Amino acid sequence: MKTLQGPAIFLAQFLGDAAPFDSLPNLARWAASLGYKGVQLPTDPRLIDLKRAAESQTYCDEIKGQAGEHGVQITELSTHLQGQLLAVHPAYDELFDGFAPAELRGKPAERTAWAAQQLLWAAKASERLGLNAHATFSGALAWPYLYPWPQRPAGLVEKVFAELAKRWRPVLDAFDAAGVDVCYELHPGEDLHDGVTFERFLAAVDNHPRASILYDPSHFVLQQLDYLAFIDIYHSRIKAFHVKDAEFRPDGRQGMYGGYQGWVDRAGRFRSLGDGQVDFGAIFSKMAKHDYAGWAVLEWECCLKHPEDGAREGAEFIRSHIIRVAERAFDDFAASGADARKLDKVLGLDRPSAATR
């Protein structure tokens, strides 16, 4: 068995214009002061020049040095926004344009090409940084048709996954050449949002060896999916881990759809670690059982608690849940030792059988 690594923290929710949240050196120093050993790095130009990272080993060494100087290492790069933009249904063009460079807004084809190039650069940058996993979203072409009313046209879902596979396969191949797993965060709003949709995609890309999962139990709580059984089913594809809490408290007025309410009033909402309903003791046990050797990364999202309090508490929460796996069985002290002869004797196989008497 293997001991997973951590604690680490995803920096996307903390990045800002004022210190200590305004640069990688400052964020690394801040994270280390809270007890984090790793940082998951969003590919925001304020933190990393992705094109330059893809082209220059010297630059990547400088980036690693900026984190390492403060005792933390980069765990993964994240292209959640670029992955989202690789596949956008026209209904969301206006809103998702905000994720793209200003000159590409209103130009969906050019926006998709930009996202694809970003992902290709991320593959090479990850390789230069010495990483083995990458966090992203799948994008969504079918999300407006999630609930079949009116009925979905026959063949729509199949066409969507064929198109997703067409767009993602060159990216998956580039990550394969770089020796890096592409970890899709299975997330509402994405076409890959649960086990069934991941399997559909996996079949469409011919079980590509780099098509992997970023496991985040909070999204499964809100979907009412068994997040512990999920680990048993998909552990061989889980290559990244967001430690994020959530709660689901339906009542007589609302359930999982939330009635268009804000986060604080929804039946299902994200919480800081330890404030929700996720059984992290069981999750970390299953991760240890299935030899997950990657990082445990805090993704802080909470509708109530201040982010800096959530970050401070999260480091100790993750540390206390990491299981240093045993190097031997607990009952080895009682081992009696046995050779083949003794085993035959214990089982009575050394005695003449009735057939030979």
Q: Compute the distance between CA of residue 192 and CA of residue 202 in angstroms, rounded to an integer.
A: 10
- The pTM assigned to this predicted structure is 0.94
Give the amino acid at 150.
P
- Tens of pLDDT along the chain (357 residues)? 789 999 999 999 999 999 999 999 999 999 999 999 999 999 999 999 999 999 999 999 999 999 999 999 999 999 999 999 999 999 999 999 999 999 999 999 999 999 999 999 999 999 999 999 999 999 999 999 999 999 999 999 999 999 999 999 999 999 999 999 999 999 999 999 999 999 999 999 999 999 999 999 999 999 999 999 999 999 999 999 999 999 999 999 999 999 999 999 999 999 999 999 999 999 999 999 999 999 999 999 999 999 999 999 999 999 999 999 987 766 665 566 778 888 888 888 888 765 555
Q: Compute the distance between CA of residue 111 and CA of residue 88 in angstroms, rounded to an integer.
A: 10
Judge contact between 276 and 216, C-beta under 8 A.
no
Give the amino acid at 259.
G
**Number of continuous H segments (helices) and E segments (strands) in the chain:** 13, 10
CATH of range 5-356; options 1.10.540.10, 3.30.300.20, 3.20.20.150, 3.20.20.140: 3.20.20.150
Judge contact between 269 and 303, C-beta under 8 A.
yes
Q: Within 13 Å and on the Cβ side, how many CA atoms surround 275?
A: 17
Per DSSP, the three-state class of 341 is: helix
Judge contact between 28 and 318, C-beta under 8 A.
no
Q: Which two tokens stand for residue 294?
A: 């990657």
Domain spans, the chain: 5-356
Judge contact between 326 and 3, C-beta under 8 A.
no
Q: Compute the distance between CA of residue 133 and CA of residue 179 in angstroms, rounded to an integer.
A: 9
Q: What contacts 159, CB < 8 A, 6 or more positions away?
A: none
| DSSP states of 60-85 | HHHHHHHHHTTT-EEEEEEEHHHHHH
Strand partners of residue 271: 245
